[in-house]
Amino acid sequence: MKWKRDWGLTMRIWLTMFLLFLVYLVFIAVLAYLGLGLPFLIGIVFVLAFVQYFFSDKLVLWSTRARVVAPDEYPELHRMVERLAGEAGIPKPRVAVMQSPVPNAFATGRSPKHAVVAVTDSILRLLSPRELEAVLAHELSHVKNRDVLTLTLASFLAMLAALIMNNFIFAAMFSRERDSPWIIAGIVAIIVYFVSQLLILALSRYREFAADRGSAYITRSPRDLITALQKISNKMDYVPPQAKQQVETANAFFIIPALSGRTLMELFSTHPPLEKRIANLEKVELELRGY
């Protein structure tokens, strides 16, 4: 089955990127007008983005305590990933396993040649082989779509806004001038940061829809991903809150976020609601059947 593009989804992704570009353009213009040390600030953010981009796989594996495993340790898992990567037309990524009662999976890495696909040991026990393949195909779609690169670029100036926000706090505390450039820039940075975060979250949700579609085309079975998502979501209700809290920093990468009920991530989610994801997959299912 040929990989088909959802033009409506694609247009929403590009519209979000365009709005981010406009927000950042205005932000840079305000900073330049105020005469702040813009090159120095951008230099700091560039270093942060460089680390995030080139070491994202190592950072995520370290934060989740996921371990890269050899083919002789998990032969069936490696065979699945290799076959699905071939279907997706990308090199086989490294495979990692994370010890956690939270059933989940994620992918990271700056490009298909430097990617890692990871699963928790609990998801290996929860899902059937076909459902697990659907989940792995979802993660491989993130790799194929270069979503780490997309979100790194999207968040570049959001990091700059966050940096200026921190300086704004110190400027507000110690400056006696009400019209200090840092105070004005700080107010603008707060607005830019929250607007950009909303747009980045929307972009992240669109990328999840795209990865769901990619999984359906790779496996040719959207129904397997639907049942997998339902199983993971239902099981999440029985996972202890402490276990969810331990992995919340990686929620943006997971196929379904592990929310403990004590976090604002429930209000500002990186993922679409499960019902919308299922509805999207059901449309793809009809499409694959020729309706």
Among 139, 177, 208, 275, the one annotated catalytic: 139
Residue 213 lies in a domain: yes
Of the pLDDT bands very low, low, confident and very high (cuts 50, 70, 90), residue 266 is very low
pLDDT band for 173, please (50, 70, 90 cuts).
low
Confirm whether 158 is domain-assigned.
yes
Under 8 Å between Cβ of 89 and 113: no
Distance CA 16, CA 22 (A): 10
Around Cβ 206, how many Cβ atoms within 10 Å?
22
Residue 266: active-site member: no
Residue 216 lies in a domain: yes
* Predicted local distance difference test score (pLDDT) of residue 264: 47
**What is the distance between the alpha carbons of residues 170 and 233, in angstroms, rounded to a whole number?**
43
Query: 2 in a domain, yes or no?
Result: no
pTM for the model = 0.83
**What dihedral do alpha carbons 39, 59, 201, 26 form, nearest 10°?**
0
Give domain status of residue 228, yes or no: yes
Q: Is residue 237 part of a domain?
A: yes
Lowest-confidence range among 8-17, 205-214, 217-226, 256-265? 256-265
Residue with tokens 């899902």: 127
Query: Which parts of the chain are beta strand (E)?
Result: 67-68, 94-98, 105-108, 116-120
Does residue 276 sit within a domain?
yes
Between 34-38, 105-109, 116-120, 124-128, the lowest mean confidence (pLDDT) is in 34-38
Q: How many domains does the chain have?
A: 1
Q: 208 to each of 135, 164, 214, 289, how far by Cα in Å?
A: 12, 30, 10, 23
Strand partners of residue 270: none
Range of the domain at 46: 7-288
3, two tokens: 């990989």
Give yes or no for a contact between 103 and 235, defined as CB atoms under 8 angstroms apart: yes
The verdict on residue 1 lying in a domain is: no
